[in-house]
Amino acid sequence: MSNKVTDEKTYLFDKPRNVSRLLLGFYIICVGLFVADFVVHRHLVHPWEGFPGFYAIYGFVACVVLVVIAKEMRKVLMRKEDYYDVKEKDHDLDE
Amino acid sequence: MIWTSSLPPFIPFFIAALLVLVTRGTLRNIILLLTPVLGGLHLWLDVQPFVPMVATDALVSAKELSYQLTIFSYQLEFMRVDKLSLLFGYLFHIASFIAIIYALHVRDTTQQVASLLYAGSALGAVFAGDLISLFIFWEGLALSSVFLIWASRTERAIKTGTRYLVFQVMSGVLLLAGALIHFQQTGSTEFNFIGIESTAGWLILIAFGIKAAFPFLHSWLTDGYPDSTPTGTVFLSAFTTKVAVYALARGFPGTDLLVYIGAAMTCFPIFYAVIENDLRRVLAYSMINQVGFMVCGIGIGTALALNGAVAHAFNDVIFKGLLFMSMGAVLYRVGHINGSDLGGLYKSMPKTAMLCIVGAASISAFPLFSGFVSKSMVMSAMLQEGHNYLWLMLLFASAGVFHHAGIKIPYFAFFHHDSGIRVKEAPTNMLIAMTISAFLCVFIGSQPQYLYALLPWKVEYWPYDMTHVLAQLQILFFSALAFVWLNKQGLYPPELRSVNIDFEWVYRKLLPATGRVSFKAFQSLNGATTEAVQRSWQGFQSVFQASRLSQYHLASSWPTGSMVLWIGVILGGYLLADAYF
C-alpha cells in the first residue's frame, strides 16, 4: 500500500529550527498563562482556586504523577502482544 | 401528513436495512445516505416534545399514545417524546449520517445492514416509553453491533465478538429480569425514574452499567472496539454507551452512588491509556473516561449537572467519532494502528492529521471546542454540590484526557519520529465525514447556545468567562508542558508492542486456568478413587479366593442368568411354603 518514497522533500518538522521555534512559542504562552493569575481579576468559586497558579501546578503535577504511576503499572500489567493468543500449557498458571 | 407526526424513528432505519439487502451500488448508497437525512428532518420538523420539561430532578415525561402495541399483557410504547429523547434522537441521526458517509466506500452487505439495524435500535431505545420495548431494542443493539466486530473476519475478531456478545446479552437478561420484577412490584412497565431502592432497581442499574462500561463491567468495550473494522468502530463508538447514558439519565438521576462510580470511571482508564499501544484501544479507554464525566453528572442530579451529562454525551459522540475516524483512516491506509510502529504520518496524511487535532482539542476541552462547553457544566455542578475531592479527581482526569487523547493520539500517529511510512491521504468520503464532525466540534464549541437550547432541563449557564477560560487554558498548557518535559527527560514511557492486563484477564486467563486446574484435580481425584476402589476389590477378591466360600459353585462366577434362576427358585419355594402351611 505504501507509495514509493520518491519525494525526499523536507517537511515542516524535519528542520530542528522549526521544532525549537514551536517549543519556544509554547513556553512563552505557558509563562504568560502563569503570570495571568496575578494580573487578571478572577471570581473564585472555591478557596483552593485562590492559590496562585493552582490550575497550572495541578495540571503539571497531575500529568507527571499519571505517567510515573502508569510506568510502574507496566511492570505489573504488561505482557507480550500474543499473551492471550498463546495456547495454554498446564504449568504456566503462575505467570 | 398527520400519520407521520409520530412515526417512531427506528422504523425508517429498519426498512432501509431491508432495502439495502436487495439493492446494490449507487442505489444502495443513496438509500444509506437518505435514511438519516430524511429521518432527522422528520424528527426536527414534525415531532415536538409533548410537554416542556421543567427544571426538577425527576423527569416529567410526555406521552404520545399513537404507537402502542400489546404483547402478552404488556403495553409497548415505541414513541415517547420529550426533550431528553429528542436530544438523543437528533444526535443519533447526525452520528449515523456522518458514520455512513465515512463508510461509503465499504462494499460489505453485512456491515451496511448491521449498521442500519444498530442505529435503528439505538433510536428505538431512546424513544421507548416502557421497559419491555427498551429491552427489545437493548438486545437489538447487542445483536446488530456484534456483526460490526465479526465483520473484521479474522479468527481473533470472531472470538472477541463472541466475548462482547456474552456481555451484551447478559446486560439484556438483567434488564428483562429487572423489568419483570419492577412490573410485579409496581404494576407498571413505564420507563421513568427507577432508583435503587428495590431489587428491580439494582438489576436494571447493573444492566445499564454494563452498557455504560462501569468499572469491572467495562472490558467488553476495550476488548471489542479495537477489533472492529475501521468503519465499524465509528458506529460502535456512537451508540451503545450513549444509549446507556440516556437510560441512566432517565432511570437514575440523582443517585449518589453514580457520582462515585463516575469519578472512578474518569480516573482509572487514563493510566491504561498512557501505556496502551493500540491507538484505537487508547480511544476506547478514553471513551470510558468521558462516559465517567456523564455518569458523574447524572449522579449529581441537579439540572445543571444533568444538562452537562447529556450535552457531553452529544459532544462526545461527535468528537470521539472524529478521533475514531482519524485512527480508522490511518488503519485503512497503513494496515495497523500500533503507536510503536507509526509516526511521521503528517507528511502523507496532512488533512487527516489536522482533523485529528481538532478532535483532540475538543476531547481535551480547549475553549472554543465542543468538549469545553459541556464538560465544564459537570465540573461546575460538582463544585456547587460540595464534592470537593471528587472535583479534584475530575480535574486530574481532565488533565489526563489531554495527556493521552489530546497529545498522545495525534503525536504518536502523525508526528513523533518518522516511521518512514508513506501512504495516500484518506479517501475523500472519509475526509468529508471527518470535516463535518470537525466543523460541528468548532461550531458547538464557539456557539454553544444552539446546543444549550436543545437541553432538557431549564437552567442558565454560560461557559465563557475570563476566570473559567484562563483556568482551563492553564491546566491544559501545563499538562502539555509536563508531556514535553517528560519527553525531554526521557521519562515518557515509550510505545511498546504489548498488551496490558485488565479486567478481561479474569475471564480470559484466570477462569480458564482455574477450570484447567480443577479439571486436572478432578481427573487425578477420579483416578485415585478408581484406583482405590479397584485395589480394595482386588484385595477382597484375593481374600475371598483364599477362603472356603470360593469353593461353592455360585461363587465361581455370578452370571445374571443364574441369579435370576435362583431368585425364581426362592420365590417358588416361598409360594409352595405359603400354600402348604
Q: Which residue of B has its CA nearest to A5?
A: B422
Closest residue to B475, CB basis, from A26, A58, A79 = A58
User: Is A84 part of the contact surface with chain B (CB cutoff 8 Å)?
Assistant: yes
User: Distance between the two ends of chain A, CA-based, in angstroms?
Assistant: 39
B517 touches chain A (CB under 8 A): yes
Polymer length in residues for chain B: 581
Residue B493 contacts A where some CB pair is shorter than 8 Å: yes
In this structure, what DSSP letter does residue A88 have?
Answer: P
Burial of B207-219, coded b for 16+ CB within 10 Å and e otherwise, reads bbbbbbbbbebbb
**B367 contacts: CB under 8 Å, gap ≥ 6:** B445, B464, B469, B472, B473
| Statement: residue A7 has pLDDT above 90 | no
What is the total residue count of chain A?
95
- 3-state DSSP helix/strand/coil % of chain B, to nearest 5: 75, 0, 25
Q: Give the Cα separation of B273 and B284 in Å (integer).
A: 9
Q: Calculate the average pLDDT of chain A.
A: 80
Distance from CA of A17 to the nearest CA of B (A): 16
DSSP structural state of residue B431: H
Q: Is B520–A49 a contact, with Cβ atoms under 8 angstroms apart?
A: no
- Cβ contact, residue pair B508, A80, below 8 Å: no
Taking CB atoms and an 8 Å cut-off, how many pairs form between chains A and B? 171
pLDDT value at residue B26: 93
Is residue B326 within 8 Å of residue B356, measured between CB atoms? Answer: yes
Q: Is A39 on the interface with B (CB under 8 A)?
A: no
DSSP string, B358-404: HHHHHHTT-TTSHHHHHHHHHHHHHHHTT-HHHHHHHHHHHHHHIII
Give the span between the Cα atoms of B381 and B371, in whole angstroms: 16
For residue A30, list chain B residues with Cβ-Cβ distance below 8 A.
Answer: 477-478, 481
Q: Which residues of A touch B380 (CB under 8 A)?
A: 45
Both ends of chain B: CA-CA distance in Å?
101
Q: Is B549 on the interface with A (CB under 8 A)?
A: no
The Cα of A39 is separated from the nearest Cα of chain B by a number of Å equal to 11
Q: What is the pLDDT of residue B67?
A: 61
The amino acid at residue B31 is I
Q: Closest by alpha carbon to B403, among B340, B312, B482, B345?
A: B482
Task: Give contacts of B 12-71 with A, CB under 8 A.
Answer: none
User: How many whole angstroms separate alpha carbon B313 and alpha carbon B310?
Assistant: 5
Cell of B282: 487508547
Q: Are B224 and B163 in contact (CB under 8 A)?
A: yes
Identify which of B421, B474, B492 has the shortest CB distance to residue A55: B474
Tell me the shortest Cα–Cα distance from B481 to chain A, in angstroms.
7
Subunit contact A43:B348, Cβ cutoff 8 A: no
Alpha-carbon distance of B330 to B311, in angstroms, equals 29
Interface of B with A in 401-430 (CB under 8 A): 403, 415, 418, 420-424
What is the structure's pLDDT at B4? Answer: 46
- List B residues 165-224 in contact with A (Cβ-Cβ < 8 A): none
Q: Cα(B572)–Cα(B565) distance, rounded to whole angstroms?
A: 10
Rounded Cα–Cα distance for residues B277 and B343 (Å): 13
Neighboring chain A residues of B420 at a CB cutoff of 8 Å: 5
Q: What is the pLDDT of residues A45-75, one digit of tens each?
A: 787 887 888 999 999 999 999 999 999 988 8
Q: Which residues of B touch A71 (CB under 8 A)?
A: 275, 491, 493
What are the chain A neighbours of B473 within 8 Å (beta carbons)?
33
Query: CA A86 to CA A5: how far, in whole Å?
Result: 37
Contact criterion met (CB below 8 Å) for B264 and B215: yes
Q: How far is residue B182's CA from residue B455's CA, in Å, rounded to a whole number? A: 29
Type of residue numbered B225: Y
At residue B312's C-alpha, the angle toward residues B307 and B314, to 5°, is 100
Per-residue pLDDT of chain B (581 residues; tens, 9 = 90+): 334 457 899 999 999 999 999 999 999 999 999 999 999 999 998 887 764 444 444 444 444 444 666 766 677 889 889 899 999 999 999 999 999 999 999 999 999 999 999 999 999 999 999 999 999 999 999 999 999 999 999 999 999 999 999 999 999 999 999 999 999 999 888 999 999 999 999 999 999 999 999 999 999 999 999 999 999 999 999 999 999 999 999 999 999 999 999 999 999 999 999 999 999 999 999 999 999 999 999 999 999 999 999 999 999 999 999 999 999 999 999 998 998 889 889 999 999 999 999 999 999 999 999 999 999 999 999 999 999 999 999 999 999 999 888 898 999 999 888 888 889 999 999 999 999 999 999 999 999 999 999 999 988 899 998 888 999 999 999 999 999 999 888 888 888 888 888 888 888 888 888 888 888 898 888 888 888 888 888 888 888 777 777 666 655 566 667 777 888 888 888 877 776 66
Helix runs in B47-154, H state only? 83-102, 109-127, 131-150
> Other CB atoms closer than 10 Å to residue B44's CB: what's the count?
12
Cross-chain Cβ contact A45/B383 below 8 Å: yes
- Residues of A whose CB is below 8 A from B348: 3
- For B132-188, what is the HEC assignment? HHHHHHHHHHHHHHHHHHHCCCCHHHHHHHHHHHHHHHHHHHHHHHHHHHHHHHHCC
**Which residues in chain A are closer than 8 Å to B388, comparing Cβ atoms?**
46, 48
Instruction: Report B:374-393 residues touching A (Cβ under 8 A).
Output: 380, 383-384, 388, 391
